[in-house]
Amino acid sequence: MPLAVGARLGPFEIVAPLGAGGMGEVYRARDTRLGRDVAIKVLPERFALDRDRLRRFEQEARSIAALNHPHICQLHDVGPGYLVLEYVPGDPLRGPTAVDEALRIARQVASALDAAHERGILHRDLKPDNIIVTRAAGESTAKLLDFGIAKLMDLPESWSDDVTRTIAGAVIGTAAYMSPEQADGQPLDARSDVFSFGAVLYELLSGRRPFVGTTTAQVLSALLRDEPAALDAPPAVERVVRRCLAKRPSDRFQSMRELRTALDDVTTTDVQPSIVVLPFENMSGDKENEYFSDGLAEEVINALTRVPGLKVIARTSAFAFKGKHEDVRRIANTLGVSKVLEGSVRKAGNRIRVMAQLIEAADGTHIWSERYDRELEDVFAVQDEIAEAITSALQLTLTRDSPSRRHTPALPAYDRYLKALHLSDARTPQTLLNAREYFDRALALDSQFALAHAEYGHLYHQLATYGVMRPLDAIPLMRSHTQRALEIEPSLPEGRAMLGTVAMFDFDWVEVERQFRLAMAHGAVPSRVCRYYAHYYLLPTGRAAEAVQYYDVGLSEDPLNLQFRCELCLCLRAAGRLEDGDEELRRIMRIDENFWFPHFVLGVNRALDGHLEEAAAISERAFQLAPWFKPIVGFRAAMLRRTGHLEASNQLRHEHLRPGDRYGDPVGPAMFHLLNGEMNELADWTQKAIEQRQIAVLFFLNAHATALRSTRRWPALAKMMNLSELVA
Domain-located, residue 20:
yes
pLDDT in tens, 110-131: 999 999 898 888 888 899 988 9
Burial 409-428 (b: 16+ CB within 10 A, else e): beeebbbbbbbbbbbbeebe
Q: Are residues 601 and 690 in the same domain?
A: yes
Domain-located, residue 551:
no
Q: How far apart are CA 663 and CA 657, in angstroms?
A: 10
CATH number, domain at 639? 1.25.40
Domain-located, residue 557:
no
For the cut 50, the answer to whether the pLDDT of residue 402 exceeds it is no
Domain containing residue 477:
406-525
| CB-side neighbour CA atoms (13 Å) of 715 | 1
Burial 314-341 (b: 16+ CB within 10 A, else e): bbbbbbbbeeeeeebeebbebbbbbbbb
> Which is more confidently placed, 96 or 281?
281
Q: Are residues 362 and 239 in the same domain?
A: no
Question: Binning pLDDT at 50, 70 and 90, where does residue 5 land?
Answer: confident
Domains in the chain: how many in total?
Answer: 5
Q: What is the predicted pLDDT for the residue at 57?
A: 66
Domain-located, residue 566:
no
Q: What is the predicted pLDDT for the residue at 675?
A: 94
Rg for the chain (alpha carbons), in Å?
28
CATH number, domain at 41? 3.30.200.20
Question: Binning pLDDT at 50, 70 and 90, where does residue 168 land?
Answer: very low
Q: How far apart are CA 532 and CA 544, in angstroms?
A: 13
Q: Are residues 258 and 153 in the same domain?
A: yes
Answer yes or no: pTM beyond 0.75: no
Q: Are residues 235 and 367 in the same domain?
A: no
Q: What is the predicted pLDDT for the residue at 676?
A: 94
Contact between 564 and 215 (Cβ < 8 Å): no
Enumerate the β-bridge partners of residue 606.
none
Domain boundary among 243, 270, 297: 270
pLDDT in tens, 523-566: 567 778 888 888 889 888 888 888 887 888 788 788 888 988 99
Q: Are residues 416 and 291 in the same domain?
A: no
Domain-located, residue 564:
no
3-state class percentages of the chain: helix first, strand second, coil last, to nearest 5: 55, 15, 35
Q: Say which DSSP state 360 is in.
A: E
What is the average pLDDT across 427-443? 90
Domain-located, residue 530:
no
Domain-located, residue 26:
yes
Q: What is the predicted pLDDT for the residue at 721?
A: 92
For the cut 60, the answer to whether the pLDDT of residue 138 exceeds it is no
Comparing 61-65, 124-128, 326-330, the range with the smallest average pLDDT is 61-65
| CB-side neighbour CA atoms (13 Å) of 207 | 17
pLDDT in tens, 612-621: 999 999 999 9
Q: How far apart are CA 321 and CA 30, in angstroms?
A: 45
Q: Are residues 447 and 425 in the same domain?
A: yes
Q: How far apart are CA 607 and CA 615, in angstroms?
A: 5
Q: Say which DSSP state 232 is in.
A: S
For the cut 60, the answer to whether the pLDDT of residue 725 exceeds it is no
Q: Are residues 249 and 312 in the same domain?
A: no
CATH number, domain at 444? 1.25.40.10
Q: Are residues 122 and 253 in the same domain?
A: yes
Q: What angle do CA 673, 676, 679 make, to 5 degrees?
A: 55
Q: What is the predicted pLDDT for the residue at 404?
A: 45
Phi and psi based region of residue 402 (left: phi greater than 0; alpha: psi -120 to 50; beta: remaining):
beta
What is the average pLDDT across 477-503? 89
pLDDT over 90 percentage in the chain: 29
Domain boundary among 525, 549, 570: 525
What is the average pLDDT across 451-468? 88
For the cut 70, the answer to whether the pLDDT of residue 20 exceeds it is no
Q: Are residues 278 and 131 in the same domain?
A: no
Q: What angle do CA 452, 294, 309 make, to 5 degrees?
A: 80
Q: Are residues 156 and 248 in the same domain?
A: yes
Domain boundary among 510, 525, 540: 525
Q: Are residues 140 and 225 in the same domain?
A: yes
Comparing 240-254, 317-331, 380-394, 399-413, the range with the smallest average pLDDT is 399-413
Q: How far is CA 570 from CA 104, 203, 602, 630, in A?
A: 33, 22, 10, 18
Question: Binning pLDDT at 50, 70 and 90, where does residue 403 land?
Answer: very low
Residue 308 CA, chain-centre distance (Å), reads 22
Domain-located, residue 681:
yes
pLDDT over 70 percentage in the chain: 87
| CB-side neighbour CA atoms (13 Å) of 549 | 18
CATH number, domain at 348? 3.40.50.10610
DSSP string, 505-539: HTT-HHHHHHHHHHHTSSSSPPHHHHHHHIIIIIT
Q: What is the predicted pLDDT for the residue at 602?
A: 96
Tell me: cis bond preceding 96? Omega within 30 of 0 counts.
yes
Strand boundaries in 262-365, DSSP class E: 274-277, 281-282, 311-312, 339-348, 351-360
Q: Are residues 131 and 37 in the same domain?
A: no
Question: Binning pLDDT at 50, 70 and 90, where does residue 22 land?
Answer: low
